[in-house]
Amino acid sequence: MSKLIVGLGNPGSQYENTRHNVGFCVIDQLLYQRSPNRFKSVCQSIVIEQPNPEKTGHKLIFAKPMTYMNHSGVAVSMLVEKYGVDLEDLCVLYDDLNLDLGVLRCRRSGTHGGQKGMQSIIKHLNSDAFSRIRIGIGKPNGKFTDHVLTKFSDQETDKIKTVISRATEAVEVFIEDGIDVTMNQFNGKANPTG
């Protein structure tokens, strides 16, 4: 069996380092640490496949959908089908404005919470029974759309770097031990305050 790790975001340089792209940032950091092979284009996504060191003959698939956030489910459902991934082996990383900046939450399943990318994935998979790692980007002062497409301020950069690093650690635990252990290790941790 393969494990599929998907980071959500929007393609294009104008969206780099915006709040909506923290899922992409986690995938980038994971792959930087793992010294990956080259990306390839698969199922409307940028994908890297690696052998799973925990299970011989099994793959780890890291993906960044190129469908834009609101249509993430198109790419994710195609990836799940192509690689024959059980939903319990799918983990999605994404921004959550219902969590304070820098807060990390891991869950086994649940609703989309208003996040359009997750809404699309749940619709296309016809299920919410897959793991997710939510990364807090803070509540907006003004319009929701403006907020998620803004870049982090200098004062916010340290917090977001810290939570991205913690999210990469959480993914590694998910790969090795599954979502229950990940939740126990990361949901109970005090989140950084500075």
- Write the DSSP symbol of residue 104: E
For residue 161, give every residue at least 6 positions away whose Cβ sits within 8 Å of its Cβ, in sequence order, or none: none
Rounded distance, CA 82 to CA 69, Å? 20
User: What one-character DSSP code corresponds to residue 16?
Assistant: T
| Cα gap 33→44, rounded to integer Å | 24
Tokens linked to 108: 């086994």
At 141, list the tokens. 């002062």
3-class secondary-structure state, position 170: helix
Q: Which residues pair with 92 in a beta bridge?
A: 6, 132
Residue with tokens 């500075």: 194
State the catalytic residues: 20
The answer to whether residues 61 and 40 touch, using CB atoms and an 8 Å cutoff, is no
